[in-house]
Amino acid sequence: MPRTTRPTTVATALSAALLLAALAGCGGGSDGPDGSDRGFAGALPGRAPAGATPTPTPTPTPTPPPAAPYVALGDSYTAGPRIAPQVGDPAGCARSGVNYPSLLAKALGVAPGQFRDVSCSGARTGDLRSPQKTADGPNPAQLDALTPDTRLVTVGIGGNDAGFMEVVTECAKATLADAVKDLVGEDRAAAPCREHYASGGTDEVRARVDAAGERLGEVLREIGRRSPRARVYVVGYPALLPADPAGCRATLGTTVAAADLGFLTEKEQQLNGMLKQRAEAAGAVFVDTAGPSAGHDMCAGEDARWIEPPFPAHGLTPVHPNAKGEEGVAAALLKAVRG
């Protein structure tokens, strides 16, 4: 007699296959704190929330910006792929003119000549030390932008070292393979992705995160050597998923098992925990963006989310920040910088 779970299994297999197709086409690599939904818009001159009626407001007392020059280092979560306008060279780095470093520099009043954004989509810690190949030519070693005169440095890196986008893709593959098992009568796993990464008897993802931490520690020490008077801020990754995996059913369906959504959240927390630990050990400041982004994950509604889902809004990058996300991270960073 046919098993009653087959129609659901077929749907799961199809949706997982579609998810893999979306992730395969993902360009750019990998990877408001005040309780409102304004994000960073309220911190920028001339910006107001959509639909709001402008009202006179008192002129705030200017806060002295940190000493410039300011150098921004990082990967695609820093660069802002496909968020208009795209600026800078090489074009293959996919830097946005409204990514969080650009927004921070503007809010702090840093002159354009005193600001360098050398972030690049797909960057790993090794690309901070050596040139990174892109489709439009090499991006010079990011650390080369630092000088003894640099006073402010932001670093958003580590997700690609840990292979986080690969892990997300693997979880979709694991769900697809598990659905096929069900179709041929084999037992399904509750968390196929977690089991995949623990199949060798060790937590493979945690090992990658720890290795990334070693490399980040070396990078932070090198920043200190090149720019000994700079204030350094290590920027964490915003929340990709809600605390309750059930909140993703409408967005992701059954493409990833609920237990594996919890696994992905756990791994992102480990990644951010590593970044915090390494920042503090190096005397840098860790900037938490997971807390401010709660409720703005990829499974939130289009008007609320900071991270695009695997099937993003037109023209944006799957599983990466949108403009609201860059604003939200900039707001958290601005709060940290101003103390």
Q: Which residues are catalytic?
A: 76, 320
**Residue 117 host element (H or E):** strand 115-117
Task: State the pairing for strand pair 86-87/95-96.
Answer: antiparallel
Extended strands (E) in 141-206:
152-156
- Residue 242 CA to residue 307 CA, distance in Å, equals 11
Are 270 and 11 within 8 A, CB to CB? no
Q: How does DSSP assign 265-285, residue by residue?
A: HHHHHHHHHHHHHHHHHTT-E
Q: Which of 27, 28, 31 is nearest to 77 (CA)?
A: 31
Please state the separation of Cα 334 from the chain's center in Å: 17
Q: Say if residues 319 and 240 touch (Cβ distance below 8 Å).
A: yes
**Could you count the other beta carbons within 10 Å of the beta carbon of residue 44?**
17
**Please, is 335 exposed, middle or buried when counting C-beta atoms within 10 Å of its C-beta (0-12, 13-18, 19+)?**
middle
- C-alpha 67/C-alpha 290 separation (Å) is 27
